[in-house]
Structure 1
């Protein structure tokens, strides 16, 4: 059984996140402490005690989600002797790509935390609150989504931000254009379109100022070749070269998250088990996507134990 480790993106944050891992594993606690120290912020307390409104701020949610993913991976290695080398690939959804790079040894936890803090701040600053929007098109195929975007393009910028799974496409851009696309999609036979409760229009050309900020930050970041190939958001293909990864981390700020293609590509190359570190968002999507693949979410100590036992049994 070939496996891939996957790492969730924004939206999986919740008060109490990571606390069971920190309570159970010293190695997981060490990850949270390292992130707190790198940021000069008691992020772990915010993660465990809230308030949710502050945790959900992009600049907090991004490093928090990364920290939980890497805490799960640290505990898996220290207590169950399973590490990233068990995988054929790693892949992360949006900010999860930074988690994947850390897991594969290409980026340090401290550097990833700082980069994600900046990424979140830059994304929020790029577009004034209320001027941008994102919407999920549920049941839409790519042709229908592109048709709706074409019909709405006269209202402003709107593009496909996330191709998550069959029937789950997210669009992003100027609020007026996104509203027009949502209205148009209802006339194209799509089951449902709904605006998402986000504070900025991620993964669209309006994020260009954030991409520029990340280009400056990543230029000097210590990035090495990963020990396991990383299937990247912008290419949907496996990358093992640090400089290509550096470039693509900038491109993914404005680019489409090609998650459906990424999962399909890994599956086509023999991956039949997708193991999500720290949440179960990607695992839930997988169930609707590839019926003969196994999805495993590593959230609790029991999850880690059962997964490690399955590899050795």
Structure 2
């Protein structure tokens, strides 16, 4: 049996998430490195008004995830696998050994800037709970026949799907979903239409940025977003980092594969517990826990027990 570290994506950000991280030398080192790249204290980036920005939200998620993972590894809780949801892939790539952390900070800041400038207003995402992927695709097809275009974005669980597009059409689609027996359908606190073809130009720019970097072979296997498969080369991970922003995230496929490979403890890096909830709903024989809820000490103890 094995352990996987999970790195959350945008939507999990919380006010003061960096300032509330555990006091630990690895945490301080990580935040200091980020501040050096940003040329200002990253401790100021997690204020509520700053987190209204896609750029700040994504940078803080990266920094928080890497800081917590480094703390865990320092406590000798080393994962067998890593996986990140959306921007969380960058934290996963750092911990897998593929990407230098300072390069990741630069890339994630650039990613956020490109996403904000591509669709500054009028677009976003929504979540639909209680309908299967097949049913959501059917409803999307009916929508397209009326020349309304929104896109399937994330397959987070068997009956948790997110969609992306213009706010007006997303609101109309949530009403349609509820009429078709969705348990819940509502807009998310996300200001860009992530994980759909509308952001293809962002992916092209990120790919060019990544081409300038010397990525390394992963030392910890990395579960990718786009195909829900284990990626074992730097080239494959580079493609996932660049293109997951404009392609659907197959999160449930990725975590299902990790389960099939023997992962029985999924530890979610801070902040929040969204990914933990998905694990516990989908895999009753496994355990998901978040460092935000349980603390790093409990997570490390459980990882030691499982791995020994």
Q: What does residue range 161-176 of structure 1 map to in structure 2 within 5 Å? A: 161-176=153-168
Provide runs of 4+ in structure 1 moved above 4 Å. none
Say yes or no: does 1:183 pair with 2:175.
yes
Q: Distance in 1 between matches of 2:285 and 2:165?
A: 35
Q: What does residue range 39-54 of structure 1 map to in structure 2 within 5 Å? A: 39-47=38-46, 50=47, 52-54=48-50
TM-score normalised to structure 2 length: 0.93
Q: Name the counterpart of 2:252.
A: 260
Q: Distance in 2 between matches of 1:135 and 1:68?
A: 25
Seen in structure 2, the aligned counterparts of structure 1 residues 308 and 171 have a Cα distance that, compared at 3 Å, is same
Say yes or no: does 1:37 pair with 2:33.
no
Contact 1:204 1:256 in 2 (8 A): yes
Q: Name the counterpart of 1:2.
A: 2
Q: Distance in 1 between matches of 2:214 and 2:291?
A: 28
Q: Name the counterpart of 2:58.
A: 62
Seen in structure 2, the aligned counterparts of structure 1 residues 190 and 204 have a Cα distance that, compared at 3 Å, is same
Let me know the Cα RMSD of the aligned residues.
Answer: 1.7
1:59-82 CA-to-partner distances (Å, cap 9, x unmatched) read 11111111111111222233x223
Q: Distance in 2 between matches of 1:20 and 1:180?
A: 38
Q: Name the counterpart of 1:199.
A: 191
Task: Structure 2: give runs of 5+ residues left out of the alignment.
Answer: none
Contact 1:18 1:278 in 2 (8 A): no
Q: Distance in 1 between matches of 2:108 and 2:244?
A: 13
TM-score normalised to structure 1 length: 0.91
Q: Name the counterpart of 1:12.
A: 12
Contact 1:202 1:254 in 2 (8 A): yes
Q: Distance in 2 between matches of 1:172 and 1:20?
A: 31
SS at match of 1:169: strand
Q: Point out the more displaced range, 141-150 or 187-196.
A: 187-196
Cα shift at 1:116: 0.4
Cα shift at 1:311: 3.7
Q: Distance in 1 between matches of 2:197 and 2:166?
A: 10
Q: Distance in 1 between matches of 2:304 and 2:115?
A: 43
Aligned residue pairs: how many? 303
Task: Structure 1: give runs of 5+ residues left out of the alignment.
Answer: none
Q: Distance in 2 between matches of 1:71 and 1:133?
A: 29
Say yes or no: does 1:286 pair with 2:282.
no
Cα shift at 1:92: 0.3
Q: Name the counterpart of 1:134.
A: 125
SS at match of 1:3: strand
Q: What does residue range 208-287 of structure 1 map to in structure 2 within 5 Å? A: 208-279=200-271, 280-287=273-280
Cα shift at 1:18: 3.0
